[in-house]
């Protein structure tokens, strides 16, 4: 609850400052400032909390007239560059209590232009966690990816994506120590479709299939992940969303089903709030059921 209050207070501060500095522009925007709080818990009382602040600059002003406010940049095909920073806190229980925390930061680029059907994407993120006593050591996670998309229609985007995650862990406890490295490569086919309707309503459908290949020095294999989600826009400002995912393969810890619900509302054309809930249901005893809660706010100008 303290984390939620922190994000709300920070977001309100951003909003108030920008209200004094920015000329009111209802029909377009070019910059977004966002803040979010996320918490993940599983049945074994493992917890991960993440705080994130990001800034997104679009290469051209985004015209929102006639569009759902959340989908305007997609429908107008406006690219952007994004930077984000934050903090991660992780806690777990085994023979001893395990705690680690540290910074996260990253950047993402989406190249798109109104007169081109092609979309290019690239992203990089890094997390550095330091263990707390009685453990000594650290975990470094590097995550990068690239993607290519093509508009088959004015509101239908098909894409391919590649991602790589590498985790290096160094741990010391009493007289023992260990160093491990794990790697994951992912390959995905994705699609996104937005249909605008009369009266300001619309719907968004997204889906994809992904192959994850993992190697953690002691084991390797691959998993297949299928996901589909959708949003219905009650009007240009408010949407309700839901999704379903299925993970199967050699990594039994991650085999299972995921369901999620999402609510997004623009209280003004410049200020939006978002709440999302997710439930992972493990398929076998090697995995653990888990819940994720996320709340976020953004300001546009």
Residue 34's pLDDT band, with cuts at 50, 70 and 90, is very high
Smallest Cα–Cα separation from 279: which of 261, 265, 296? 261
Decide if pLDDT at 203 tops 50.
yes
Question: Measured between alpha carbons, how far is 81 from 122 in angstroms, rounded to an integer?
Answer: 10
Tokens of 266: 């623009």
Is residue 21 predicted with pLDDT exceeding 90?
no
Query: Is 129 in contact with 100 (CB distance < 8 Å)?
Result: yes
Summary mean pLDDT of the chain:
91
pLDDT at 23 over 60: no
Residue tagged 């400032």 (tokens): 33
User: Taking the model in full, what pTM does it have?
Assistant: 0.87
Provide the Cα torsion 56, 168, 279, 148; round to 10°.
Answer: 50
pLDDT digits (tens, 9 = 90+) for 44-90: 889 999 999 999 999 999 999 999 999 999 999 999 999 999 999 99
Query: Nearest Cα to 69, choosing from 261, 235, 274?
Result: 235
Where do we find the tokens 């929102």?
64
Q: Which of 3.10.620.30, 2.40.160.40, 2.40.50.140, 2.60.40.10 is the CATH number of 2-300?
A: 2.40.160.40
Q: Quick: pLDDT tens for 118-160.
A: 999 999 999 999 999 888 899 999 999 999 999 999 999 999 9
CA distances from 35 to 83, 97, 115, 153, 274 (A): 12, 30, 32, 33, 10
């Amino acid at each position: 609850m303290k984390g939620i209050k922190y994000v709300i207070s920070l977001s309100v501060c951003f909003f108030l400052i920008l209200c004094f500095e920015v000329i009111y522009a209802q029909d377009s925007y070019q910059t977004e400032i966002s803040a979010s709080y996320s918490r993940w818990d599983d049945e074994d009382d493992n917890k991960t909390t993440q705080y994130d602040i990001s800034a997104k600059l679009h290469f051209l002003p985004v015209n929102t007239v006639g569009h759902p406010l959340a989908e305007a940049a997609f429908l107008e095909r406006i690219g952007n560059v994004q930077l984000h920073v934050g903090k991660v806190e992780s806690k777990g229980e085994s023979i001893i209590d395990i705690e680690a925390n540290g910074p996260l930061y990253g950047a993402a680029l989406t190249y798109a232009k109104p007169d081109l059907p092609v979309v290019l994407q690239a992203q990089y993120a890094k997390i550095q966690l330091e263990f707390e006593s009685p453990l000594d050591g650290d975990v470094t996670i590097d995550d990068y990816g690239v993607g290519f998309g093509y508009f088959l229609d004015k509101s239908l985007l098909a894409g391919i994506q590649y991602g790589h995650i590498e985790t290096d862990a160094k741990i010391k406890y009493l007289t023992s120590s260990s160093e491990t490295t794990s790697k994951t490569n992912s390959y995905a086919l994705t699609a996104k479709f937005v249909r605008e309707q009369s009266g300001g309503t619309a719907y968004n459908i997204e889906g994809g299939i992904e192959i994850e290949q993992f190697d953690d020095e002691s084991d390797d294999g691959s998993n297949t992940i299928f996901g589909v989600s959708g949003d219905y826009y009650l009007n240009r400002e408010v949407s309700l969303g839901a999704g379903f995912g299925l993970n199967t393969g050699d990594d039994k810890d991650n085999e299972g089903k995921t369901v999620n619900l999402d609510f997004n509302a623009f209280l003004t054309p410049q200020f939006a709030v978002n709440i999302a809930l997710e439930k992972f249901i493990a398929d076998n005893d090697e995995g653990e059921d888990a819940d994720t809660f996320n709340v976020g706010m953004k300001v546009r100008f």
